[in-house]
C-alpha cells in the first residue's frame, strides 16, 4: 500500500490504538484490500499476489487504484467507528443479529491473533462473490462480529483445538485433481464456482458450530449460564449435556479422548474429523448445517457418499448380515447394545 496513505492514517489513529494494534491493523487491512493467495497449480501451494495480477474477469480482480480506494473507505469507516472526530462510518453489515461494531470489539480483535491471522478483521462483501459481487470499494464493509465465537474460544482454551477448527472452517481441503484444484486456500478467495468456495460469514458460522458441539461431548466441562444460550442458538436445539453422537456412525464422542487425540496428534492419524454430511464432491455446501465433527469410523464409512446414501447403504448391509447370520432383529438390537457399552 502507498506509504503516504498509511502514514496519514497512522497519525489519525495514534490516540485510539496502541502501536502494536495499529501495526496489526495496517497489515491486515492491506492484506484484505490488495492481496490474495490463490493456488499455484504448478507447485501445489498457495502464493500471495496482488489482485491486479489476476485475470480481469475474476470477481477477485481489482485495479491498483481500486485496491487503494478499498483501503481508504474501510479505514475511514473504522475512524468513525472508533469515534475519531470528523469521520462518519458507512453502514455496518449485520449478518449475525449483533448490534454494531464497537470500539471495544475492534480493540479486542486487534489484540488477538489466530490461525487465520491477517483475515481476522470483520470485513465482508455486501453482495457475495458467488452471487455476482466483486472486489470493489462499494461492496466491502465492516460487519458486526459474532461475539459468541470469541466467548466459546475462551471456553475451549486449547490452541491446538482452535487451530484445527479454524483450518477446517476457513481453509479448503486438499484436492489435486478435477476442475477446481485446492490446497488450504482461504475459502472466500477461491473461484466462486468451486464447491470449496464459502463466504467468510459461512466460515464463521461453521467455527461457531464446531466450538459449540464440543460442549455436548460426553464428559465435557460444564458451561457457564451465559454460554448455554449461545450453544443452543448455534446448534438450533436445547442444550443437552453428554449428548453428542457422530452423525454417521452413531458413536458418542468422549471429551477427554477427543482432547488427547486432537491436542497431541499422531502424525498421519486422526481420531476425529470435521466432515460434510453431504460431501462437497456430491453437491454439498460448506455451511454450518452441513458440517459436523465425525469419528474416524464415520469418516471411513461415509467416503464420498451423502448422508442419505450412506444411511441406505447401512440399512442394506444390516439386513444382509442379519440374514447371513440367521438372526432376528431382537438379537441385532442386543448386539448393538453390547457395542454401545
Q: With respect to residue 333, please indicate whether it lies within any of the assigned structural domains.
A: no
User: What band does 313 get if pLDDT is binned at 50, 70 and 90?
Assistant: confident
> pLDDT: is 115 or 11 the higher one?
11
Same domain, 291 and 170: yes
Average pLDDT over residues 270-296: 90
Same domain, 163 and 132: no
Is the pLDDT at 268 greater than 60, yes or no? no
Same domain, 252 and 211: yes
pLDDT at 33: 96
pTM, entire model: 0.91
Q: With respect to residue 329, please indicate whether it lies within any of the assigned structural domains.
A: no
In Å, how far from its chain's centre is CA 322?
42
Query: 18: domain range?
Result: 1-145
Q: Using the 3D structure, point to which of 78, 113, 145 is the last residue of a domain.
A: 145
Same domain, 178 and 271: yes
Same domain, 181 and 252: yes
Question: pLDDT digits over 154-171, tens only?
Answer: 999 998 899 889 999 999
Quote the number of domains for the chain: 2
Same domain, 244 and 217: yes
Question: b vs e for 276-300, b when ≥16 Cβ sit within 10 Å of the residue's Cβ?
Answer: bbbbbeeebebebebbbbbbbebbe
pLDDT at 310: 85
Q: With respect to residue 319, please indicate whether it lies within any of the assigned structural domains.
A: no
Average pLDDT over residues 303-314: 86
pLDDT at 308: 86
CA distance 194 to 117: 24
pLDDT at 64: 96
Nearest to 29 by CA among 59, 70, 62: 70
Q: With respect to residue 328, please indicate whether it lies within any of the assigned structural domains.
A: no
Same domain, 141 and 165: no
CA distance 77 to 90: 6
Same domain, 60 and 176: no
Q: Using the 3D structure, point to which of 145, 172, 191 is the last residue of a domain.
A: 145
CB atoms within 10 A of CB 191: 19
Nearest to 235 by CA among 213, 263, 255: 213
What's the mean per-residue pLDDT of the chain?
90
Q: With respect to residue 222, please indicate whether it lies within any of the assigned structural domains.
A: yes
Is the pLDDT at 1 greater than 60, yes or no? no
Cell numbers placing 285: 455446501
Q: With respect to residue 263, please indicate whether it lies within any of the assigned structural domains.
A: yes
pLDDT at 339: 73
Q: With respect to residue 322, please indicate whether it lies within any of the assigned structural domains.
A: no
Question: b vs e for 115-132, b when ≥16 Cβ sit within 10 Å of the residue's Cβ?
Answer: bbebbbbbbbbeebbbee
The string of DSSP letters for 21-84 reads: HHHHHHHHHHHHHHEE--EETTTTEE--EEGGGS-TTSTT---HHHHHHHHHHHHHHHHHHTT-
Range in 68-77, 125-134, 329-338 the model is least confident about: 329-338
Same domain, 139 and 208: no
pLDDT at 2: 59
Same domain, 24 and 94: yes
Question: pLDDT digits over 67-104, tens only?
Answer: 999 999 999 999 999 988 888 999 999 999 888 899 88
Q: With respect to residue 330, please indicate whether it lies within any of the assigned structural domains.
A: no
Same domain, 94 and 169: no
CA distances from residue 50 to 38, 62, 317 in whole angstroms, order as listed: 10, 9, 53
Amino acid at each position: 500500500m502507498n506509504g503516504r496513505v498509511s502514514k496519514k492514517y497512522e497519525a489519525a489513529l495514534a490516540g485510539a490504538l496502541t502501536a502494536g494494534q495499529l501495526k496489526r491493523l495496517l497489515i491486515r487491512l492491506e492484506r484484505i484490500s490488495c492481496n490474495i493467495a490463490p493456488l499455484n497449480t504448478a507447485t501445489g501451494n498457495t502464493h500471495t499476489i496482488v489482485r491486479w495480477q489476476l485475470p480481469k474477469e475474476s470477481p477477485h480482480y481489482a485495479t491498483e487504484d481500486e485496491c487503494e480506494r478499498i483501503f481508504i473507505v474501510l479505514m475511514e469507516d473504522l475512524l468513525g467507528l472508533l469515534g475519531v472526530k470528523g469521520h462518519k462510518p458507512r453502514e455496518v453489515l449485520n449478518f449475525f443479529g449483533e448490534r454494531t461494531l464497537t470500539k471495544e470489539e475492534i480493540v479486542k480483535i486487534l489484540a488477538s491473533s489466530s490461525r487465520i491471522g491477517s483475515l481476522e478483521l470483520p470485513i465482508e462483501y455486501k453482495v457475495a462473490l458467488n452471487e455476482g459481487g466483486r472486489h470493489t470499494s462499494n461492496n466491502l464493509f465492516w460487519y458486526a462480529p459474532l461475539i459468541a465465537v470469541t466467548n466459546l474460544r475462551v471456553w475451549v482454551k486449547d490452541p491446538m483445538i482452535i487451530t484445527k477448527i479454524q483450518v477446517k472452517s476457513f481453509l479448503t481441503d486438499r484436492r489435486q485433481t478435477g476442475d477446481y484444484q485446492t490446497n488450504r486456500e482461504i475459502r472466500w478467495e477461491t473461484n466462486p464456482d468451486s464447491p470449496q468456495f464459502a463466504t467468510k460469514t459461512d466460515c464463521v458460522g461453521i467455527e461457531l458450530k464446531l466450538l459449540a458441539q464440543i460442549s455436548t461431548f460426553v464428559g465435557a466441562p460444564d458451561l457457564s449460564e451465559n454460554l448455554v444460550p449461545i450453544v443452543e442458538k448455534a446448534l438450533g436445539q436445547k442444550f443437552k449435556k453428554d449428548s453428542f453422537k457422530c452423525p454417521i456412525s452413531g458413536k458418542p464422542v468422549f471429551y477427554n479422548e477427543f482432547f488427547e487425540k486432537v491436542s497431541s496428534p499422531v502424525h498421519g492419524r486422526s481420531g476425529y474429523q470435521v466432515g460434510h454430511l453431504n460431501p462437497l464432491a456430491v453437491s454439498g455446501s460448506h455451511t454450518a448445517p452441513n458440517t459436523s465433527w465425525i469419528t474416524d469410523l464415520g469418516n471411513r464409512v461415509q467416503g464420498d457418499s451423502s448422508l442419505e446414501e450412506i444411511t441406505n447403504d447401512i440399512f442394506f448391509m444390516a439386513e444382509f448380515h442379519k440374514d447371513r447370520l440367521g438372526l432376528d432383529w431382537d438379537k441385532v438390537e442386543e448386539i448393538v447394545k453390547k457395542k454401545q457399552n
